[in-house]
Amino acid sequence: MKALVFAVNLPRIALTKALSPLSRSVFYSRLSALTCTEMREPVLPGDRWVKVRTRMCGICGSDLHLITLRVHPMVSLAALPKHVPKGAPKYLGHEAVGEVVEAGSGVSGLKIGDSVALASGPACEAAGLKPICTFCQEGSRALCQNRSELKLPADMGGGWSEYFVAHESQLFRVPEKLTDTEAALLEPTACSIHAVRRRVPRRGEHVLVVGAGPIGLNAIQAANLFCPECSITALVKYPFQAEVARSMGAQHVVFSRARDLYEQIADLTSGKVYTGKFGNKVIVGGFDVVYDCVGSAGTLKDDLRWVKTRGSVVVVGSLLEIGPFDYTPLWNQEITLLGSEAHGVEVVDGEMVTTFALAARLIAEGKLNVSPLLTHRFRLAEYREAMKTLMIKGRSAAIKAAFIF
């Protein structure tokens, strides 16, 4: 089968990193660790596993971070053991939708022909562990306490390959009402919903969404849905993002490169800007809630200076980099800093539901409009053009891209 994989080849990775200041195109050139190649078609590793023929898979920002080598070797995740054997290629793509073509004898909830979306990575159930951890019991498999202990086959495929295998607990049966585009966007949509549910806005609060990619734009929709009485501001980089942010429900838009950014934010929130030496600025009385859908040291520094006393910052972005930031506002303003990892379970109107199921329901009911976010589609063989498109968003006006099979 054809698959797009990341080869764990240290000399090639080092060469790519060294050449990247000359041209970012080296990350998807013939020199890079990213290759489209013929791989062995995966086989079921157990009786509760399912084989899926891929129809579509999104290109996530976390995939791009790996491809462009924006992964610091000293982040905490780098200390954890890997699932697959050392030296095995890394299959990419987790925003996948496809059709079940084979099911093990122990599979009970799925059958051949079902449309499914990949809802989570492998966790306790995939490893056959008993009892499963507390988080897997509640349905929050992204927080599985045993995921770093799992030993998995090397040839499992991924969303960027023609076939992949997954444990039935990892798959979500797609409702008939959803298109493949909507199903492929379930995973990032669920991430946005989970972030907003970590700290739901309240009536009259000022909300800031940092970043206007799929996660940020869906966070705008979700915040509007769960609290229509809040005021939402989007922090964007490009004019085309501003237009989409407004269409998703942002009442205000500010540009991250504006010279008077602090002054604009203060005006929106009735805050006051204080300026010290060396251009050091802080706002007293800012946003009640900030959803950081970028997650860099730079955005986190600003988040803490733009949120009001006893406000909340929810970190959704996943840049795997290490950088210093000023944490004094955390204690000086008693700010609550929350993390949001993927998705899990939510309690909405007294009902406990998985974030994936909630996302599917809201899309099917027309309460979330996600299809416009998928702006570009590529065949797997066009992966270089796909990477280029996503690396020049200012010119390509790309929000989300996906591979189609």
pLDDT tens per residue across all 405 residues of the chain? 999 999 888 888 999 999 999 999 999 999 999 999 999 999 999 999 999 999 999 999 999 999 999 888 888 888 887 777 777 789 999 999 999 999 999 999 999 999 999 999 999 999 889 999 999 999 999 999 998 888 888 899 999 999 999 999 999 999 999 999 999 999 999 999 999 999 999 999 999 999 999 999 999 999 999 999 999 999 999 999 999 999 999 999 999 999 999 999 999 999 999 999 999 999 999 999 999 999 999 999 999 999 999 999 999 987 788 888 899 999 999 999 999 999 999 999 999 999 999 999 999 999 999 999 999 999 999 999 999 999 999 999 999 999 999
Average pLDDT, the chain: 95
Tell whether 400 and 328 lie within a shared domain.
no
Please check whether residue 353 lies inside any domain of the structure.
Answer: no
Tell whether 209 and 173 lie within a shared domain.
no
Tell whether 33 and 171 lie within a shared domain.
yes
**Cα separation of 285 and 283, whole Å?**
6
Tell whether 115 and 215 lie within a shared domain.
no
Tell whether 135 and 207 lie within a shared domain.
no
Quick one: pLDDT at residue 9? 84
255 closest CA partner among 271, 192, 247, 245 = 245
Quick one: pLDDT at residue 88? 79
Helical packing angle, 239-247 and 214-226, nearest 10° = 30
**Cα separation of 286 and 113, whole Å?**
52
Quick one: pLDDT at residue 219? 98
The length of the chain, given as a count of residues: 405
Please check whether residue 357 lies inside any domain of the structure.
Answer: no
Tell whether 28 and 170 lie within a shared domain.
yes
**Cα separation of 286 and 210, whole Å?**
14
**Cα separation of 194 and 180, whole Å?**
22
- The distance of Cα 343 from the centroid of its chain, to the nearest Å, equals 10
Q: How many CB atoms lie within 10 A of CB 242?
A: 18
99 closest CA partner among 56, 57, 52 = 52
Tell me which residue has tokens 């971070």.
65
Task: State the residue range of the domain holding 65.
Answer: 2-185+371-404
Quick one: pLDDT at residue 85? 72
* CATH code of 178's domain: 3.90.180.10
Structurally, the chain folds into a number of domains equal to: 2
Q: Write out pLDDT tens, residues 166-181.
A: 999 999 999 999 999 9
Residue 352's DSSP bridge partners are 347
